[in-house]
Amino acid sequence: MIATASRTSLRNGMPSISGREAELAALMRVQQPSFLPRTNLDLSQIQSGFACALHMHQPTIPAGADGGLISNLQHMFEHPHDGDNHNAGVFADCYGRMGDYIPQLIDQGCNPRIMLDYSGNLLWGLEQMGRQDVLDKLRRLVHGDRYWPHVEWLGTMWSHAVVPSTPIPDIKLHIQAWQHHFAALFGDEALSRVKGFSPPEMHLPNHPDTLYEYIKALKDCGYQWLLVQEHSVERLDGSGLRHEDKYLPNRLVARNSHGDTVSMTALIKTQGSDTKLVAQMQPYFEAKGWGQQRVGERSIPSLGSQIADGENGGVMMNEYPRDLFRVYHEIRDGGGNQAGTVAMNGTEYLELIEAAGVSPGDYPECQAVHQHRIWQQLDASGNSEVTPESVAAAIQILQETDHRFTMDGASWTNDLSWVQGYENVLEPMKQLSAKFHQKFDAAVAADRSITASENYQDSLLYLLLLQTSCFRYWGQGAWTDYAQALYHQGLERLNAIAI
């Protein structure tokens, strides 16, 4: 049975994050084009495209009455004189404004595109706050038949967890939780159109086993592609990506310590973290410098891809509305939507080029950065057999002999570690994860309906919340204290459950 959209996903105030695993997996396994039947683009007339994504997130924090869970956005409204909390109203407006901008641009004869990445925390927070005005604008983009072909939703980790430092058994739980929540809010049909994935902090794990389980989980959940940062990947021979290949789909190959491999299409986000890139529509101007490229037996348009926080910074608050309309008016007035450089969304682009005869097997291959060093070290040691023991030994040698070698993964910046110095958060994450799986895994294997129970969902919620990246991104102090509080609240709930 296909679920329809609801004005709320909440049950007793809590978000819907589990209970339909098999049903949603079956829904997502139906691999049929989503945007191809509705696109108004003619691939043969396009030289290059640009794909822009907006990332929206507010963490959930234990800062309500008696340590209750509230959105940081609500906390900003309640404490307007702290830091930049005076921007709370502007942030809230940013979360819904594409529901105004896309219809306005279409009414003005433009052909806009946008990809949207909203964390589960933010969606839940908007519901908690009763901000149906914002959610209704998003529903307009999801369900409006005139608008949804211009808007692509991207999946993500429900609680904005960075994958490399997330316990491996929990990666899939985040992915599934977001799908549950999105379907509860917007309906199963809308979820079936979600084919691309946006990693929090653009973080890609590079440990062979973590990356393998991550890509496998994404594929198991029905995703067809993910966005990756250019410097987080390398060619299979260890060299960097050719500049021109950053504007083509790549095939990300993951090989684990047992020698198993899995692969997935990746679109490359170029350059580092800079909100101005999207706010000032830089991807459009970058794409204007590119033409078609040869992939396999076909020539296809180059595609420049970018993502930015959709609310942070003066440029996104103030310059984005100006430059968004200015650029789309320029495209409209410079030869129509079918010529030259146009806006495209990720799945739309991939469906167009694959319908034209391009196969994912034709895409240039890449792997996570530093992995070539591991396979090279195996060969150099005279033990090229890929086993958990030989891979662990190779990693240990590299870590001892080269301070630049790391298995912490790579994100939008090389200057920020999500691991070093955060043992006071990471250790509780590991402990709560272990406790959760000890409590539930055997029971769920025997009776899958347990994932729909209130005890399971309540415990899962705290597990996911503790893994939110903000509790490390913002440094020691109040944010790590929030993490400690979530750990103790989650542990208390798990200890009270008898199975």
Q: Tell me, yes or no, whether 305 and 179 share the same domain.
A: yes
Query: What is the average pLDDT across 259-280?
Result: 88
Contact 455/497 with Cβ under 8 angstroms? yes
pLDDT value, residue 337: 44
Mean pLDDT of the chain: 91
pLDDT value, residue 5: 54
Q: Tell me, yes or no, whether 272 and 124 share the same domain.
A: yes
Measured CA to CA, the distance from residue 254 to residue 367 in angstroms comes to 6
* Final residue belonging to a domain, choices 340, 367, 394: 367
Q: Tell me, yes or no, whether 228 and 348 share the same domain.
A: yes
Q: Tell me, yes or no, whether 188 and 45 share the same domain.
A: yes
Whether 63 has a pLDDT exceeding 90, the answer reads yes
Q: Exposed, middle or buried: residue 298 (CB in 10 Å: 0-12, 13-18, 19+)?
A: middle
Exposure string of 262-297, with b = 16+ CB inside 10 Å and e = fewer, is bbbbbbbbbbebebbbbbbbbbbebbeebeebebee
Q: Tell me, yes or no, whether 363 and 442 share the same domain.
A: no
Tokens of 149: 């072909």
pLDDT band at 418; cut points 50, 70, 90: very low
Percent of the residues in the chain that have a pLDDT greater than 90, as a whole number? 80
Q: Tell me, yes or no, whether 343 and 439 share the same domain.
A: no
Instruction: Classify the phi-psi angles of 460: left when phi > 0, otherwise alpha if psi is within -120 to 50, otherwise beta.
Output: alpha
Whether 475 has a pLDDT exceeding 70, the answer reads no
Residue 410 is assigned to a structural domain of this protein:
no
Q: Tell me, yes or no, whether 357 and 455 share the same domain.
A: no
Instruction: Considering only residues 75 and 422, tell me which one the structure prediction assigns the higher pLDDT.
Output: 75
Residue 68 is assigned to a structural domain of this protein:
yes
The CATH number covering residue 48 comes to: 3.20.110.20
Q: Tell me, yes or no, whether 203 and 335 share the same domain.
A: yes
pLDDT in tens, 180-222: 999 999 999 999 999 999 999 999 999 999 999 999 999 999 9
pLDDT in tens, 354-409: 999 999 999 999 999 999 999 999 988 776 789 999 999 999 999 999 988 888 77
Q: Tell me, yes or no, whether 115 and 256 share the same domain.
A: yes
Contact 152/348 with Cβ under 8 angstroms? yes
Q: Tell me, yes or no, whether 126 and 202 share the same domain.
A: yes
Q: Tell me, yes or no, whether 190 and 70 share the same domain.
A: yes
Residue 135 is assigned to a structural domain of this protein:
yes
Q: Tell me, yes or no, whether 357 and 267 share the same domain.
A: yes
Whole domain around residue 123: which residue ranges?
35-367
Residue 395 is assigned to a structural domain of this protein:
no
Contact 127/15 with Cβ under 8 angstroms? yes
pTM of the model: 0.94
How many domains in the chain? 2
User: Which one, of 57, 55, 101, lies nearest residue 197 by Cα?
Assistant: 55
